[in-house]
Amino acid sequence: SAVISQKPSRDICQRGTSLTIQCQVDSQVTMMFWYRQQPGQSLTLIATANQGSEATYESGFVIDKFPISRPNLTFSTLTVSNMSPEDSSIYLCSVRTGGATNEKLFFGSGTQLSVL
Amino acid sequence: KNEVEQSPQNLTAQEGEFITINCSYSVGISALHWLQQHPGGGIVSLFMLSSGKKKHGRLIATINIQEKHSSLHITASHPRDSAVYICAVRGADGLTFGKGTHLIIQP
């Protein structure tokens, strides 16, 4: 089992500013995943954060726009940089436990971001 | 790339009704997850299936690997079941999520 504390839960930001989202897990995990959920759309993986190495970004997402930190096995941050209204979404962090036959997924409570 | 389709997109029902939400996918998978998302965005895992059927309380999930289809059933539905239900499949290219089914149970 894993409990993830994510903050902030919501924020309203001005265009051009940056917001950092934090996730704290109550157990050590190798990988943490960051997702974006645009209105009416499915979850899209932004990047996978590994402790001690650079995050791995999915196609369409770049480090300059979404820098990620992973200083230890229980904590990660995602920054949404130079925001525009198109960045208005729910952002979620996630971890998984178990293997192929008993995988479990755990998610943070989400950050609802609105950019004006 | 796996394509995940959920139906219906929206469902409004009366308290006590039997609810069925469907999920179809296009490419073979190793596991399928049913997730529940409440207003505010937080997501809770309900089931992980690789075959057959699982039951937890009033929730039942089934999967047919040959037909590439899964269903989530809610018996004796209650207003607190109102949420978005998301299907996610684990394939060779990772997790692919459906867009979700928005369920409203009216008292």
Quickly list DSSP for A51-62. TTSPPEEPTT--
Residues of A with CB under 8 A from a CB of B: 9-10, 37, 40-45, 90, 92, 94, 100-112
Q: Which of A100-109, B41-50, B61-70 has the highest mean pLDDT?
A: B61-70
Assess whether pLDDT exceeds 90 at residue A79. Answer: yes
Interface test with B, best of A36, A37, A44, A109 (most B CBs within 10 A): A37
CB contact under 8 A, B48 and A100: no
CB contact under 8 A, A100 and B31: yes
Q: pLDDT-derived band of residue A83, with 50, 70 and 90 as boundaries?
A: very high
- Mean per-residue pLDDT of chain B: 95
Assess whether pLDDT exceeds 90 at residue A3. Answer: yes
Specify the pLDDT at position A108: 95
Contacts of A109 in chain B (CB under 8 A): 40-42
Beta bridge partners of A77: A22, A69
CB contact under 8 A, A110 and B42: yes
Interface size, chain A vs chain B, as Cβ–Cβ contacts under 8 Å: 56
Assess whether pLDDT exceeds 90 at residue B83. Answer: yes
Specify the pLDDT at position A64: 96
CB contact under 8 A, A105 and B35: yes
Q: Which of A53-57, B14-18, B57-61 has the lowest mean pLDDT?
A: A53-57
Specify the pLDDT at position A91: 97
Assess whether pLDDT exceeds 90 at residue B42. Answer: no
- Mean per-residue pLDDT of chain A: 94
Q: How near does any CA of chain B get to the CA of A43, in Å?
A: 6
Contacts of A44 in chain B (CB under 8 A): 97
Q: A38-47 long-range contacts, Cβ below 8 Å, gap at least 24?
A: A38/A88, A38/A89, A39/A88, A39/A89, A40/B99, A41/B99, A42/B4, A42/B86, A42/B96, A42/B97, A42/B98, A42/B99, A42/B100, A43/A92, A43/B86, A43/B88, A43/B97, A44/B97, A45/B94, A45/B95, A46/A78, A46/A91, A47/A78
- Nearest residue, CB atoms, A107 vs list B4, B43, B99: B43
- Nearest residue, CB atoms, A105 vs list B4, B33, B98: B33
Contacts of B4 in chain A (CB under 8 A): 42
Pick the more confident residue, A1 or B25: B25
Specify the pLDDT at position A90: 95
What residue in B sits closest to A7 (Cα-Cα)?
B42
